[in-house]
Structure 1
Amino acid sequence: MRLELAGKQFDGRPVLGPITLELAPAQRVALLGPSGAGKTTLMRIIAGLDTRFHGLRQVPERLAMVFQEPNLLPWRTALQNITLPTGTTPDAARALLAQVGLEGRDAAWPRQLSLGQQRRLALARAFAARPQILLMDEPFASLDADTAGRMLDLTARLLDDSGAGLVLVTHDPSEAAFLRAQPLRLRGTPATLDVGEPGALPPHPRDI
């Protein structure tokens, strides 16, 4: 993936300045910075949801995105929330439901699932698309510490198994460290990307 952003404005107000972001296969990065810094705006540009910017965007064929809210189809079952958007088979969808701890819940409606279960269903849906890069916009926000920890561990395992790259938007550097994502900070007005010193990914907490 390569993004060469010359700038982004809202109603004539510069929000993002010049930014170059490259992602190699299976590489993981985390976009950090204060609220209003432009993290979600940058993510939406990467995802192709915002096309009103100046610059060049080159992304692989298969992207998947996990939003802060699960964004499930309330009138479809858990199984259909995976198969309909992604085209994956029911058997493959059931296998993913089992991987995220929702085995046997394929006929459940989203309203019958807790918020943590809905987040796990959204994660299963994302990986059903077999993404080359997974985009995550503060997916662990508003979860209690135990649920967030389980979600982080599940995400790490699915990333390891799939070999997908990762672009994570978060306020929490510990989430980036857990997912072995290189931290990149948005700073200034308009915001630019501070890539910091190059180096190895941080060690996974389970390896310490």
Structure 2
Amino acid sequence: MKLDLKGKSFGDQPVLGPLTMQVTRGQRLAVLGPSGVGKSTLLRIIAGLDHRYDGTLTGGDRLAVVFQEPTLLPWRRAIENVTIPTGCDAGDARDLMEQVGLNGHEAHYPRQMSLGQQRRLALARAFAARPDILLMDEPFASLDAETATRMIDLTAALLDRSGAGLILVTHDAGEPARLGASPVRLSGRPATLVTAP
């Protein structure tokens, strides 16, 4: 995946300036920066969810996204939240649910699960898509410290096992090192990428 961005604006308000990003399978990159600087906008462009920008996005990598909110299907059971969006079979879905600590929760609906469990289900769904690159948008925000630590460790283990690359958007400067990701920082207005300190 390679992004050559010339700029991104909302109306007449420039948000992102010229920048280049390239990530391949197995590479891990973390994009840091304060709230409102354009981190999520950048991730949405990379994910192909926002086409209104000046620049080019190239590469045939298979992508999967974990958003800050779990974005689950509330009317579907947990296992169907893995199989339906990804097309994986029930056996693979059960295996991934077991890997994320949700063994026995296959028949639960999202409303019957805690936020931490919903986040783990969203993580299982992302890996069920067999991504070359996993995109994560503040996935550990609003979790208590213990749950966030477990989620980070779980994510690192799944990345190691799958060999997928990672683009993580976060404001937490401690997360990149714990995930083995190289940090860069979005800064300025319009924001550009700078080497993180």
Q: Structure 1-normalised TM-score?
A: 0.93
Between stretches 162-171 and 15-24, larger displacement belongs to 15-24
8 Å contact kept, 2:78–2:107: yes
Query: What is the SS of the residue equivalent to 1:14?
Result: strand
Equivalent residues of 1:159, 1:165 under 8 A apart: yes
> Residues 157-197 of structure 1, C-alpha deviation per residue, up to 9 Å, x if partnerless?
00000000000000011111100110010111111101359
* Aligned amino acid, residue 45 of structure 2: I
Distance 1:20 1:9, change over 3 A: same
Partner Cα distance (1:144, 1:130) in 2: 28
Return the alpha-carbon distance in structure 1 between the equivalents of residues 140 and 59 of structure 2.
Answer: 25
1:8, 1:16 within 8 Å by CA — same for their partners in 2?
A: yes
Q: Which residue of 2 aligns with 1:11?
A: 11
Offset of 1:61 from its aligned partner?
3.7
Which residue identity is paired with 2:96?
A: L
| Correspondence list, 1:117-136, <5 A | 117-136=117-136
Contact map agreement 1:133 1:165 (CA 8 A) in 2? yes
Q: Look up the match of 1:168.
A: 168
Report the Cα offset of residue 59 of structure 1: 3.3
Q: Distance in 2 between matches of 1:53 and 1:190?
A: 13
Aligned residue pairs total: 197
Q: What amino acid is the match of 1:121?
A: L
Deviation at 1:9, TM superposition (A): 0.5
Q: Does 1:183 align with 2:183?
A: yes
C-alpha separation between the residues in 2 aligned to 1:34 and 1:181?
Answer: 18
Q: Does the Cα contact within 8 Å between 1:77 and 1:108 map onto a contact in 2?
A: yes
Structure 2 counterpart of 1:26, one-letter code: G
> What is the deviation of 1:115?
0.4
**Whole-angstrom CA distance in 2 between matches of 1:196 and 1:136:** 18
Does 2:87 match 1:87? yes
Query: TM-score, length-normalised on structure 2?
Result: 0.98
Shift of the 69–196 alpha-carbon distance from structure 1 to 2, 3 Å rule, reads closer
Alignment correspondent of 2:62:
62
SS of 1:173's equivalent in the other structure is coil
Where do 4+ consecutive residues of structure 1 move more than 6 Å?
Answer: none
Counterpart secondary structure, 2:31:
strand
DSSP 3-state at the match of 1:187: strand
Gaps of 5+ in 1: 198-208
Name the SS for the 2:88 alignment partner.
coil
Matches of residues 110-121 of structure 1 in structure 2 within 5 Å?
110-121=110-121
* Aligned-partner Cα distance in 2 for 1:81–1:35: 30
Question: Could you tell me how far apart the structure 1 residues matched to 2:142 and 2:37 are?
Answer: 20
Matches of 2:196 and 2:154 in 1, distance apart? 28
Give the structure 2 partner of residue 76 of structure 1. Answer: 76
Q: Which amino acid aligns with 2:37?
A: A
Shift of 1:31: 0.5
Quick check: 1:60–1:132 contact (8 Å CA) kept in 2?
no
